[in-house]
Amino acid sequence: MHAGRMLGLKPVRIAESPPPLVSRAEWPVVVLLLCALGAFVWNGSSLLHIVASQQISGLDPSVQIAAAALVLNVALLLFGWRRYADLQQEAALRAEDRRRAALQEETDSITGLANRKGFAAGVETLCKTAIDAGHCLVIISLQMQRFKRINDRFGFDVGDATLRRIGEELRLHVPEGAVLARLSSDEFAIALPVHKDNLPSAERLAETLLRDVSRTYDIEGTYIQVGAISGIANAPAGTACRAADILRRADIALDHARSTRAARPTWFDAGMERALIERSELEQAIRVGIEHHQFLPYFEPQVDLRTGALTGFEVLARWQHPNRGLLSPELFIPVSEEIGLIGSLSESVIAQALDAARQWDGDFSLSINISPAQLSDLWLAQRLVRMITEHGFPANRLIVELTESSLFEDIDLARNLVVSLKNQGVRLALDDFGTGFSSLSHLRMLPLDMIKIDRSFMATVHVDRESIAIVRAVTTLAQALGIPVTAEGLEDAATYEKAATLGAKTGQGWYVGKPMTADAAADLLRRHRDAGDVKLRQAS
Ligand code: C2E
Ligand code: MG
Ligand code: MG
């Protein structure tokens, strides 16, 4: 193989049956020609016969007629031959047009490389030759990262020019006998036959390609920085070489490279495929779960740290899976966010929580979690307000928890939501404070009603001096801003005491009470009803 050799677009062979000797359009002309030829032979031979039997000087009129017929014959022959030649030329032109159109259909107009269709056809051909020669077929996928941003920022002309340059760069390195294509806006692929014992050479080629395309391109004075990821796959051992299978495997490897942010080419392995199948089963199960109301609200009690009296509950989603039992949000919240179902999942849980809370005595607050992915929903505030109105739940008893990371992602979206909710009297808490950017400007920018210190700080607050310093700094700052602090993750009496001493006003955690079902929460409230206020813990 000669890496580095310039490789143009491989004309993809189109399966064609051999052209017929005489096409349908040519038949009348051919028949005419044959008749003319027959008449010529007949006329010519009879003329010769007459001429031979008579003296040339005294040709009678019948001979003159025969001679005229012969001349006419010759004219007819010439005309027929000319017409036949024209038809042949026309057919050749049409065939060339068809070949060009087919090539265009299989060519990417920006880079001049094969497109997805051309790649599939080229790879099918390569598959056959590779197997005959005892090679296996390897596909290297390359995807440019964040290419959309280049188009958005510099325009499509610069984006197209960059793609052309990337295509040229790849052509320089792609070995002879390979098929190079641009499969989608920012994805390129190379298919090449590699000897079974020499698979590392394909990986080395992928490394070279990855290194050489990931660089800064000077596009008429605009400097464009391009990064890429790569996945590699070959045909599964002992199976037929099928282009679609190998490409799918290379794409799975590419996905893996993307999710692990791999800087090197990633080989496909069967585990990735299994994970993908599990993941798509999980996605499907979430869809079904939402439809069948399998996502339930659990209620984690929150108390006033000084008096130990219950102040409210945080609503936490749980999945009552028909086969796997009760599942934690860590399993389904990130997936629901990615597939765009977090909105319907959360709203189903919130609606059930409001339904349950409506039956309870007392004016306890209900805290709900809103994911960063939900903030882009411009109607979220309206829907939340409608839900509490429909359930007859007072707006001032609802607390919406937003994490710092969601604020950081889009402060304007967060502000819109917050303003709409605050106008209705809903309160706002900053969740997991300390785990994100802990930006003081966030504290000033939004009208917060509560800051929740993440449980990772509380876990070590009675042993680790740094955690103490952080919690104290947060409570001092919050006090100065007039915002009460809630401590999360109070697992034991020592942490509870420490949180109270360091200035947290309210707290929650297993020491106070684990998340419980709606029925268990109603039961808890019933048991304490006669005592006036519900005291779960008493700080000393
Ligand atoms: P979060 O809002 O910070 O919720 C507190 C998490 O800490 C809960 O985990 C809770 O069970 C756990 N926890 C509470 N006390 C203790 C303790 O003493 N020790 C320990 N080790 N853990 C404690 P959970 O229920 O697994 O929820 C995890 C996260 O999932 C939540 O963190 C929240 O961000 C998210 N989440 C839960 N339900 C929903 C939901 O309905 N919608 C959205 N968008 N996110 C949710
Ligand atoms: Mg929370
Ligand atoms: Mg939290």
82-137 per-position pLDDT tens digit = 888 888 888 888 888 888 887 788 999 999 999 999 999 999 888 888 777 778 89
Q: Which residue, by CA, sits nearest to atom 20 of ligand 1?
A: 489
Per DSSP, the residues of 100-125 read HHHHHHTB-TTTSSB-HHHHHHHHHH
CATH of the domain at 414: 3.20.20.450
Q: In 3-state terms, what secondary structure has residue 492?
A: coil
- Helical ranges in 189-328 per DSSP H: 199-213, 243-259, 270-291
Same domain for 391 and 282: yes
Domain membership flag for residue 16 = no
Q: What pLDDT score does 8 carry? A: 32
**Chosen domain end from 268, 287, 310:** 268
pTM for this entry: 0.71
- Cα dihedral 465, 471, 473, 476 in deg (nearest 10): -130
Considering only CA atoms, which residue is closest to atom 28 of ligand 1?
329
* Closest ligand (CA of 507): 1
Distance CA 477, CA 92 (A): 85
Domain boundary among 58, 76, 105: 105
Distance 385 CA to ligand 2 centre (A): 19
The protein residue whose alpha carbon is closest to atom 31 in ligand 1 is 316
Shared-domain flag, residues 524 and 380: yes
Residue 429 near ligand 1, beta carbon < 6 Å = no
CA of 316 to the centre of ligand 1 (A): 6
What separation in angstroms does the CA of 185 have from each of 100, 139, 142? 23, 18, 12
Question: With a 6 A CB cut-off, is 328 part of the ligand 1 pocket?
Answer: yes
Do 469 and 332 share a structural domain? yes
In a domain, 499, yes or no: yes
The range of the structural domain enclosing residue 254 comes to: 116-268
Residue 12 lies inside a defined structural domain of this protein = no
Cα 370 to Cα 190, 201, 343, 377, 430, distances in angstroms: 43, 49, 9, 11, 11
Q: Where are the alpha helices (DSSP H) in 54-115?
A: 61-105
- 348 touches ligand 1 (CB under 6 Å): no
Please report, to the nearest 10 degrees, the dihedral formed by the alpha carbons of residues 145, 146, 150, 151 taken in order: 110
Considering the domain architecture, whether residues 442 and 492 belong to the same structural domain is answered as: yes
Quick one: 249 and 305 in the same domain? no
Is position 162 within any domain? yes
Please say whether the beta carbons of 231 and 252 come within 8 A: yes
| Per-residue pLDDT, 426 | 96
Using CA atoms, how far apart are residues 491 and 214, in angstroms rounded to an integer?
49
Distances (CA, A) of 35 to 29, 40, 80, 114, 528: 10, 8, 10, 50, 115
Q: Is residue 193 part of a domain?
A: yes
Angstrom distances, CA of residue 456 to CA of 236, 315, 432, 442, 509: 45, 20, 9, 21, 12
Residues 244 and 342 in one domain: no
Measured between alpha carbons, how far is 495 from 457 in angstroms, rounded to an integer? Answer: 10
Last residue of a domain, one of 105, 125, 143: 105
Residue among 316, 435, 458, 517 to mutate when testing ligand 1 (max atoms within 8 A of CB): 316
**Contact by Cβ (8 Å): 345, 317:** yes
Question: Residue 333: CB within 6 Å of ligand 1?
Answer: yes
Lookup result for tokens 């007859």: 392
pLDDT-flagged residues of the chain (< 70): 1-21, 54-59, 236-239, 438, 531-532, 538-540
CA of 317 to the centre of ligand 1 (A): 8
Give the separation between CA 117 and CA 167, rounded to whole angstroms. Answer: 17
What pLDDT shows up at residue 361?
82
**For ligand 1, atom 3: residue with the closest CA:** 432
Residue 294 belongs to a domain = yes
Asked if the structure places residue 478 within a domain, the reply is: yes
* 176 C-beta neighbours (distance < 10 Å), count: 11
In this structure, the answer to whether residues 146 and 239 fall within a common structural domain is yes
Active site residues: 488
Here the CATH number for the domain that contains residue 244 is 3.30.70.270
Atom of ligand 1 nearest to the CA of 491: 18
pLDDT at position 540: 54
* Ligand 1 atom 37 nearest Cα: 316
Q: Are residues 63 and 183 in the same domain?
A: no
7 falls within a domain: no
Atom of ligand 1 nearest to the CA of 297: 41
Ligand 1 center to residue 133 CA distance, Å?
A: 58
Same domain, 430 and 283: yes
Chain segment 41-57, per-residue pLDDT in tens: 887 777 777 777 765 55
Say yes or no: 62 and 171 in one domain.
no
* CA 171/CA 189 separation, integer angstroms: 11
Q: Residue 229 C-alpha to ligand 2 middle, in angstroms?
A: 35
Token reading at 498: 């420490």
The single-letter DSSP state of residue 538 is -
Same domain, 261 and 291: no
The number of domains in the chain is 3
Ligand nearest to the CA of 317: 1
Instruction: Mark whether 488 and 430 lie in a shared domain.
Output: yes
